Amino acid sequence: MKIAVCFKIIADYDRLSGKDWEWDECRFVDMSFVRRVFNCFDESALETVLKLSRQLENVSDTVELTALTVDDEQGDLFLKHLMAVGYDHAVRICCNNRLDLRFNPLVISHLISRYIKQEGQKLVVLGMQGGEGDNGQTGFLVAEQLGWPCIREVIDVVRAESPDCLKVFSRIDGAILKQTIKLPMVLIMGHSLNSPYLRVPTLRQKLNAKKKQLTIVSNIELGLDNDALLNKDKTLMDLYGQKPGKSCVFLEGKTAQEQAQRLYDQYLKERLS
């Protein structure tokens, strides 16, 4: 079975302080001095699929895993890492660097879906949200363009009895939904409790991965010229920092017991019931 996991590399926002959020005239924030990391949902997706592939390999056909990102050369290091941990193909779709794709999930989804159509994967897994634009739309758009069913907030996926199905666990309204779904499909990964972290390659795996080739594909090769990458339906007007709204209420009451009772009645009761 051919599986693709789409991932994004972002700056480690935990390492940015409030004062670092300054943007230039094109509304880009300089994050060049901060390390880059896998977007957390994508990291879960990548690990979940590695686990799934081991299960599938144990029973049936060969599994071919592709890790796919739309990025510049900085993505290569991460692709090499993925080759080391077990991805068979590491693909980077490169576009004109000057284009602002942060708020353009439509274009990203076109690039992804065209690649998938070309390569014939049966399962596409993506994280539910990328830290940078926080668009939360790419997965749905990919599914629409491929015309495949799509499950959101997936927390795990495992082998099903039938080889052309998978068992998918997802969150819905506070409950966990377990479904057996026929391939092809798009899965949008949410918070995975089982696989929050990507495994680390062994020394030997790293060495072997060095010999492997990355695949670089341009938007032109996928049939989208530079003009098609422009964000025509949206214009970024402004960016501004949100002031965290904090307020404070002093609970009145003569004794701690009275205050605790007020806290319970006015603030907790409703939430706990």
Partner 1 sequence: MTLTREAIVEHLKNIVGKERVITDEQVLKENSHDRYKKFETIFGVYTTPIPAAVVKLADTNQVSDVLKFLNENKINSVAKTGGTATEGGLETIVENSVVLDGSQMNQIIKIDETNMLATAQCGVNLGELEDRLREQGFTTGHSPQSKPLAHMGGLVATRSIGQFSTLYGAIEDMVIGLEAVFPNGEITRIKNVPRRSCGPDIRHVIIGNEGALCYITEVTVKIYKYFPENNEFLAWALDDMTTGFKILREVMVEGYRPSVARLYDAEDGTQHSFDQFAEDKCVLMFMAEGNEHLARATAQGIAQIVEKYDECRKIDSRLIENWFNHLNWGPEKIAEERELIRKNLHIGFTTEVSGNWDCINTIYENAIKRIREEYPHIEDLTMLGGHSSHSYQTGTNLYFVYDYDVKDCKPEEEINKYHIALNALIVEETLKAGGSMVHHHGIGKYRTPWTKQEHGSAYYILKGLKDQFDPNGIMNTGTIYPVE
CA distance 73 to 16: 22
Taking only Cα atoms into account, the Rg of the chain, rounded to an integer number of angstroms, comes to 22
| Two tokens, residue 84 | 């080391």
| Two tokens, residue 134 | 């926080």
Q: One symbol per residue from 61 to 90: x for binding partner 1 (CB under 8 A), - otherwise; what is it?
A: -------------x--x-------------
Output phi, psi for 26, to 5 deg. Answer: -90, 10
Residues 6+ apart with CB under 8 A from 87: 5, 46, 50, 65, 66, 67
If we measure between CA atoms, which residue out of 172, 165, 113 comes closest to residue 139?
Answer: 113
Helix intervals (H) in the chain: 40-59, 76-85, 105-119, 138-146, 203-210, 256-262, 269-272
Measured on CA atoms in the order 128, 178, 68, 214, is the torsion positive or negative? positive
Angle at 135 between CA 150 and CA 50, to 5 degrees: 50
Q: Which stretch binds partner 1 (CB under 8 A): 27-35, 139-147, 216-224, 228-236?
A: 27-35
- Pick the closer one to partner 1 by CB: 1 or 157: 157
- Pick the closer one to partner 1 by CB: 2 or 81: 81
CA distance 15 to 67: 26
Least separation in angstroms between residue 200's CB and partner 1 is: 4
- Pick the closer one to partner 1 by CB: 31 or 160: 31
CA distance 247 to 237: 30
- For partner 1, which residue of 120, 163, 196, 253 counts as binding (CB under 8 A)? 196
Least separation in angstroms between residue 224's CB and partner 1 is: 28
54 binds partner 1 (CB under 8 A): no
19 binds partner 1 (CB under 8 A): no
Angle at 255 between CA 251 and CA 261, to 5 degrees: 55
Least separation in angstroms between residue 33's CB and partner 1 is: 4
- For partner 1, which residue of 18, 24, 35, 240 counts as binding (CB under 8 A)? 35
- Pick the closer one to partner 1 by CB: 11 or 181: 11
201 binds partner 1 (CB under 8 A): yes
- Pick the closer one to partner 1 by CB: 127 or 201: 201
- For partner 1, which residue of 14, 227, 233, 238 counts as binding (CB under 8 A)? 14
158 binds partner 1 (CB under 8 A): no
34 binds partner 1 (CB under 8 A): yes
DSSP secondary structure code for residue 161 in this structure: S
- For partner 1, which residue of 60, 162, 180, 202 counts as binding (CB under 8 A)? 202
Q: Which stretch binds partner 1 (CB under 8 A): 33-41, 97-105, 125-133, 145-153?
A: 33-41
Least separation in angstroms between residue 197's CB and partner 1 is: 5
Count of residues engaged in binding partner 1, rule: CB under 8 A: 20
What does the binding site for partner 1 look like in residue numbers (CB under 8 A)? 14-15, 32-37, 74, 77, 194-197, 199-204
